[in-house]
Structures are given as structure tokens and as C-alpha cells.
Amino acid sequence: MSLRSFLSDVVYSAYGRRLIQQAKGRHPRHIAIMLDGNRRWAREAGFTDVADGHRAGAKKIADFLSWCNEADVEVVTMWLLSTDNLGRAAEELSPLLKIITDVTDELAAPHTPWRLRIVGALDLLPPEVAKALSAAAERTEGRSGMEVNVAVGYGGRQEIADAVRKLLLQHADEGTSIRELAKILDVDHISEHMYTSGQPDPDLIIRTSGEQRLSGFLLWQSAHSEFWFTEAYWPAFRRVDFLRAMRDYAWRHRRFGS
């Protein structure tokens, strides 16, 4: 190791410890993250195949989850593929789906502590992909570790439409009329049918790559979320970036509309 690299590591480590100290006192229970910028990272790194960016991004996921685990986060939601992404060309989409399936299998491996939940419209995915993702999640049932939502084929509007559809079907089976349902319907009824039902709403939503918009991510659940944006592409996202997000969250005063 060169002297420059050694000094860089020392400074980086010291800065990380300072960020940890500054973030003490309050941490998010639920972090949601938009893993954005894989393709742009690949192009700027000189790769001709954007799938190399997705592969690099997939390798970053285990690190991110370990950082969240160290910070006592209870739930993590990672957006890996949107419903809009399903319209990409087959030569890009097929490798991407394979990468997502592989990384989900890795997260479900016996030596990992995570409890996986697949959130998204699985019926929009190729059947073999949907089956593999569901099987991976099933293998983690009963674990006591951090809950990890893997958002694949996910769209916020699609989720709300699916929730309302499930609600209507449930009450139709129970014999409730539309007029009767209209009298009792409230926010909690719909929340019970969202993909993330039973979990706290995200306290902090992170988006990488410099984009500053939700793009339909967790539209229902993000009413009181804090947002943190970074210029870093997802494959280049570092622990120090994560710690900055945690520090900024700890410094914010959340009013929840009051």
C-alpha cells in the first residue's frame, strides 16, 4: 500500500467515525432506496454492456444491507426493477432479470439473516422469474433478521390499484355491497392490502445517481418520509455516503404534517 493510499484510508476512517457520532440519537426504522445509475456508471466506466453496471450494482447490495444492519434498521426496501423497466429491450431486460434472480438467491442463502419479501406485480414478470423470486423469499421465512423488501416489477400506481382490487374482492367474497363498503372505507383499509402491509412506512428514502424525483416509488407509504439524494451512481455508493444520509436524517426535525 502506498503512503497516499494509507493516508486516504486513515482520513476516510476518521471521517466515518465522526459521521457515526453525529448520527447518534435517532435512526430510521425503515430505509427505502432507489438503486439508480447502474447503466450510466457502466458507460462512464468504459463498459460496452450495461449489464456490467447491473452486476456491479448487485454486488453492492450485501454491503448496503450490512450497513443498515449495523445501524439497527429494521426494514429495508430496495427498488430493483420498475414496471416501466419491463418495457426495455429484451437484450437488456433478460440479463437484468437473471442478475436480480441471482442476487435474491444470494440474499436467501442459509448463512444470511435477512427475511425477504418480494414486493411488486409478480404476474407481470416471466413465470420462471416470479417463481424463483417467491421461492427465495419462502426460504427465509421464520428468520429473525432484518426484513428486506425486494421490489421487482414494482410501480407505486400499480401497487395502489392492486390494493384496491384486493380490497374489493375481499368484501365481495364477504357479501359487502359497494354502498356499504363506501360508508366504512378509510385509509387503513387500503393500507392493509399494500405490498408492505404490516410494516412501518419508510422513514428515509434514498435515491442515488443525482435524480431528485420519486418516479412512483412507494407513493402511498412516503407521505411523511424524509428524502436524501446523492450524485453517486449506485455501484459507486460508499459507506460514507450511507453515513451522511444517516447523519442528515438524525439532524432533521420531523413534524408529520403538524
Same domain, yes or no: 162 and 225: no
Total domains present in the chain = 2
Task: Tell me the C-alpha distance between 242 and 247, whole Å.
Answer: 9
Does 254 fall in a domain?
no
Does 8 fall in a domain?
no
Does 218 fall in a domain?
yes
pLDDT value for 101: 98
Q: What is the pTM of this model?
A: 0.90
Same domain, yes or no: 99 and 171: no
Same domain, yes or no: 139 and 59: yes
Does 12 fall in a domain?
no
Same domain, yes or no: 136 and 170: no
Does 126 fall in a domain?
yes
Of the residues 69, 85, 102, 248, which is catalytic?
85
> What strands, in cross-sheet order, belong to the sheet with 147-154?
115-119, 147-154, 75-82, 30-34, 204-207, 226-229
pLDDT value for 24: 66
Same domain, yes or no: 149 and 159: no
Does 9 fall in a domain?
no
pLDDT value for 214: 94
Does 1 fall in a domain?
no
Give the contacts of 159 (CB within 8 A, at least 6 positions apart).
119, 120, 121, 194, 195, 219, 220
Tell me how long the chain is: 258
Contacts 24+ apart (CB under 8 A), 93-102: 95/51, 95/54, 96/51, 96/54, 97/125, 97/126, 97/129, 99/51, 99/54, 99/55, 99/58, 100/58, 100/129, 100/133, 100/150, 100/152, 101/129, 101/132, 101/133, 101/136, 102/58
User: Which residues line the annotated binding site for substrate?
Assistant: 37-41, 54, 82-84, 88, 207, 213-215
Is 85 a known active-site residue? Answer: yes
Domain holding 90: CATH number?
3.40.1180.10
Same domain, yes or no: 124 and 180: no
Same domain, yes or no: 118 and 243: yes
Any idea what DSSP says for residue 200? Answer: P
Each residue's pLDDT tens digit in the chain (258 positions)? 565 655 555 555 655 566 666 656 688 999 999 999 999 999 999 999 999 999 999 999 999 999 999 999 999 999 999 999 999 999 999 999 999 999 999 999 999 999 999 999 999 999 999 999 999 999 999 999 999 999 999 999 999 999 999 999 999 999 999 999 999 999 999 999 999 999 999 999 999 999 999 999 999 999 999 999 999 999 999 999 999 999 999 998 766 665
Domain that holds residue 185: 155-193
User: Which residues line the annotated binding site for Mg(2+)?
Assistant: 36, 226
Same domain, yes or no: 96 and 57: yes
Same domain, yes or no: 104 and 172: no
pLDDT value for 167: 96
Same domain, yes or no: 143 and 160: no
Query: Residue 12: which H helix or E strand, with range?
Result: helix 3-23
Does 257 fall in a domain?
no
Same domain, yes or no: 188 and 210: no
Is 201 a known active-site residue? Answer: no
Same domain, yes or no: 80 and 100: yes
pLDDT value for 26: 81
